[in-house]
């Protein structure tokens, strides 16, 4: 049997590191780190700063699978994924980095 709401997936390209998911999560199970980078969009244009996602981790042991992070993400970078997180021998193995480190 497949489950539409088995776990939560990150679409990293859409993430702007805004922190909203980590702040809205009721169980504090989302951690993310980022840094800023500068870029000039066109020659002579004003230099812009943007966020770059470094790490994105969900502690599945704590996750309530409530979907608030998915609802609140302003860029649709979080989605329901079908596969339920497999059982593990150690709690630390339930801490999944979904991107980068």
Partner 1 sequence: MAEGSGEVVAAGEWFPRVERARAEGFVHLANLTAVDEVGLSDHIRVLLFLTDAEGARRLRLDVLVDRDRCELAGITPLYAGAAWLQRQVHDFFGVRFTGDDNRPLLNHGGGTPLRKDFLLEPRIQGRWPGALEPGESDASPGRRRLVPPGVPEAGLLDNPDATAAEIALSASGTRVRRGR
Partner 2 sequence: MLQAKDWFGDSSVYVVDVPLACCALESQAAAGTANLVDVPAGARIVVALSGTITNAVAPAVRELLAGLPGKPVVVSFGSCACVGGPYWDSYSVAKGAADMGVEVDRFIAGCPPPPEALAAVLEEVRLG
- Taking residues 53 to 82 in sequence order and writing x for each that binds partner 1 by CB under 8 A, - otherwise, the string is -x----------------xx-x--------
Tell me the H-state helices in 27-67.
none
Give the burial string for 38-52 (b: 16+ CB within 10 Å, else e): eeeeeeeeeeeeeee
User: Does 40 help bind partner 1 (rule: CB under 8 A)?
Assistant: no
| Helix, coil or strand: residue 92 | helix
- What residues numbered 4-23 form the site for partner 1, per CB under 8 A? 16-20, 22-23
Query: What are the residues binding partner 2 (CB under 8 A)?
Result: 1, 3, 6, 26-27, 59-66, 84-91, 93-94
- Which CA distances in Å does 26 have to 4, 5, 78, 83, 96? 21, 17, 16, 22, 18
| Binding partner selected for residue 40 from partner 1, partner 2, none, CB under the kind-specific 5 to 8 Å limit | none
Query: Using the rule CB under 8 A, is 24 a contact of partner 1?
Result: yes
Contacting residues toward partner 1, per CB under 8 A? 16-20, 22-25, 28, 30-36, 49, 51, 54, 71-72, 74
């Amino acid at each position: 049997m497949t489950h539409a709401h088995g776990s939560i997936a990150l679409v990293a390209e859409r993430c702007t590191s805004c922190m909203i998911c980590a702040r809205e999560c009721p169980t504090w199970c989302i951690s993310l780190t980022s840094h800023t980078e500068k870029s000039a969009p066109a020659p002579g244009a004003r230099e812009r700063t943007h966020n770059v996602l470094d790490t994105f981790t969900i502690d599945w042991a704590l996750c309530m699978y409530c979907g608030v992070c998915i609802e609140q993400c302003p860029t649709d970078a979080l989605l329901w994924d079908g596969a339920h997180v497999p059982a593990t021998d150690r709690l630390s193995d339930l801490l999944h980095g979904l991107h980068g480190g």
